[in-house]
Amino acid sequence: MAILPILRYPNPQLREMGVPVSKVDDAIRTLVDDMAETMYDAPGVGIAAPQIGKLLRIFIIDIAGDDEPSDLKVFINPEITSLAGSLRWDEGCLSFPGATESIKRAESVTVRATGLDGKQFELEAVGLLAVAIQHENDHLDGVLMIDKLNPLGKRRLSRKVAKESG
Ligand code: NI
């Protein structure tokens, strides 16, 4: 296992499309282990492969609280098949360290994906898990939370990021 460097906005690699995983093999399992170690170290509730420079359609999420056992969910080649309702959630992103933004998302989602065992599964999620799935799935298409903000919010977040990295 290894903790990998997380790419930060505005790194242009964060804008690239993830490629579908053709086979869940040892290389993919090692990558997922490294992603998990990197996410827990950060710490964060989710991370997508493009955030550590791997342009593959994989993200992982663990929304368990500090006092709960870990609950790692692995999504390989995910596809959101339905979205319903709407809500606003204060989101963070490991590629925007220190930033929290109120973002409008669907309240519930259905997602189909392949697991680490190579089998397809379907999951219905609401609330935080639904938000995390939408956020991480966006990373696989090069979409970032800043894209969801209005022009004023985009400028404010860009300035904040520039200040943090300067
Ligand atoms: Ni993110």
Residue 137 CA to ligand 1 centre (angstroms): 9
CA–CA separation, 119 and 113 (whole Å):
8
What proportions of the chain, in percent to the nearest 5, are helix, strand and coil?
35, 25, 40
Residue 161 CA to ligand 1 centre (angstroms): 14
Residue 2 CA to ligand 1 centre (angstroms): 20
3-state DSSP assignment of residue 158: helix
165 has a pLDDT exceeding 80: no
The predicted-structure confidence for 5-58, as pLDDT tens digits, reads as follows: 999 999 999 999 999 999 999 999 999 999 999 999 999 999 999 999 999 999
The predicted-structure confidence for 97-156, as pLDDT tens digits, reads as follows: 999 999 999 999 999 999 999 999 999 999 999 999 999 999 999 999 999 999 999 999
Active site residue 68: no
Residue 96 CA to ligand 1 centre (angstroms): 8
Residue from 37, 79, 101, 136 carrying the catalytic annotation:
136
List Cβ neighbours of 31 (8 Å cut-off, separation of 6 or more). Answer: 49, 54, 56, 58
Residue 50 CA to ligand 1 centre (angstroms): 10
pTM: 0.96
- Which CATH superfamily includes the segment(s) 12-165? Peptide deformylase (3.90.45.10)
The 3 state secondary structure assigned to 76-99 is EEEEEEEEECCEEEEECCCCCCCC
CA–CA separation, 148 and 99 (whole Å):
14
